[in-house]
Amino acid sequence: MSAVVWTAAGSLAAWLWLLLCQGFFWRTDVRLPPSRDPGAWPSVCVVVPARDEAAVLPASLPSLLAQEYPGRAEVFLVDDGSTDGTGELARELARRTGGLPLTVDSPGEPPAGWTGKLWAVRHGIGLARARGPEYLLLTDADIAHAPDGLRRLVAAARTGGYDVVSQMARLRVESLWERLVVPAFVYFFAQLYPFRRIGKDGTRTAAAAGGCVLLRADTAARARIPDAIRHAVIDDVALARAVKRAGGRVWLGLADRADSVRPYPRLHDLWHMVARSAYAQLRHDPVVLAGTVAGLALVYLVPPAAVIAGAAGNPVAAVLGGAAWLVMTGTYLPMLRYYRQPPWLAPLLPFTAFLYLLMTVDSAVRHHRGRGAAWKGRTYARPDAVPDEG
């Protein structure tokens, strides 16, 4: 057989393995586990790191303040050096809408060694600990929560005995580029971190979704969160790993009623979102990058290429490539249904995967040019260039 046929056969074999052996990552039925109301509702402090979020706060913060939670709950919004009046707007929204108590404070500039929003999270957790909460809800400033969202998270954590209960908020999908890129982003994440494995005891797979993380306060202290992960660019995954290393239990699933209101209307916006952290996911290792590029090409690009080769006179390659493409399409359909998108987008996944391949390479180029990590316009030293302060 020709090299084209062997390559197409390898792609089909990879897809059959992904279909059956990768934790059924393609299924979208991992939602909050069954739960019952506790006899006494524990106290919760909500920590919201915010930097230049005035555009999204009116659609998100009132949903937090309006939580219908039977126990004691309080919101701490950490205004991390905003220049758009984020803190003032948050106070005004609290005055207009009422609801849960809101504290707005600022942490000052982060010291060397802290990346992303983690310095703001640390400040918020410090404020919250003065209240002695049993749980912390870490949520981003662009997430709108259903009125019973906090109640359901706490009930699930108490019933299941979880130290972390995290939901991947449903991202906005309205523009053409959002339709092409956003469902695939969650699909690829689930492929790397199958949700079923995360919640299973005895597995090493750990991940969380930073937009909605309910965390036991004593577990956070035991795992030294966020200090132990202060270098992390992908802070939600690092948090879940730290909890598991400390003996905690983690659950992650898709959200039904927690939505991101942040728009990504242009390809440039989505490109930056992915490229900001893609190379960090590969541990800044050029060898891993090369393997990832090769793997993406084999799994996502070879099937349509083999079908094209079949049109040029290689029918075996066309059959194998078409079968691989069919499996790929079938596994993507549940995610499109979750995002309420038309099924005709599923066969376009190879194109989207090619975009992600380019974003990953661009992420590596940015890193090696010394641009480091960034959050909301603030650039940090590269993690491998920051001395560990213990």
Rounded to whole angstroms, the Cα distance separating 113 from 329 reads 42
State which H helix or E strand residue 251 sits in. Answer: strand 250-260
Cβ-based neighbours of 252, under 8 Å, separated by 6 or more: 30, 164, 166, 167, 168, 193, 195, 198, 199, 207, 208, 209, 240
- Nearest by Cα to 228 from 213, 205, 245: 245
Q: Are 332 and 187 contacting, i.e. CB atoms less than 8 angstroms apart?
A: yes
User: pLDDT tens for residues 265-303?
Assistant: 999 999 999 998 899 889 899 999 999 999 999 999 999
DSSP per position, 49-107: EESS-TTTHHHHHHHHHT---SS-EEEEEEE-S-SS-HHHHHHHHHHHH--S-EEEE--
Residue 132: the pLDDT is 96
Domains and CATH numbers, the chain: 3-24+269-373 (no CATH), 44-264 (3.90.550.10)
For each of the chain's 390 residues, which pLDDT tens digit applies?
689 999 999 999 999 999 999 999 999 999 998 899 999 999 999 999 999 999 999 999 999 999 999 999 999 999 999 999 999 999 999 999 999 999 999 998 888 888 779 999 999 999 999 999 999 999 999 999 999 999 999 999 999 999 999 999 999 999 999 999 999 999 999 999 999 999 998 899 999 998 999 999 999 999 999 999 998 889 999 999 999 999 999 999 999 999 999 999 999 999 999 998 899 889 899 999 999 999 999 999 999 999 998 877 889 999 999 999 999 999 999 999 999 999 999 999 999 999 999 999 999 998 888 765 566 666 655 544 333 332
